[in-house]
């Protein structure tokens, strides 16, 4: 009797990446000068949590 090993690797994984287009905007913090990308209406500086930021 022969033992047959069948390595069955299923390569049937499909990634359905549905990345929404996020409109990131560039901001600068007036408190610490940090520049960052943010989205949304209430943007705070990730470095100092200040709301004193402006779009650049």
Q: Which of 24, 25, 32, 51 binds Zn ion (CB under 5 A)?
A: 32
- Listed in sequence order, the residues at least 6 apart from 24 whose beta carbon sits closer than 8 Å to its beta carbon are 37, 38, 39
28 makes contact with Zn ion (CB under 5 A): no
24 makes contact with Zn ion (CB under 5 A): no
Which one of the spans 6-14, 15-23, 24-32, 36-44 is the region binding Zn ion (CB under 5 A)?
24-32
Point out which residues bind Zn ion (CB under 5 A): 29, 31-32, 34, 45, 47-48, 50
């Amino acid at each position: 009797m022969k033992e047959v090993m069948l390595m069955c690797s299923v390569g049937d994984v499909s990634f359905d990446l549905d990345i929404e287009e996020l409109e990131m905007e560039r901001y600068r913090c007036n408190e610490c000068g940090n520049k960052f990308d943010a989205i949304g209406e209430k943007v705070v500086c990730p470095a100092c949590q200040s709301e004193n930021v402006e779009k650049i």
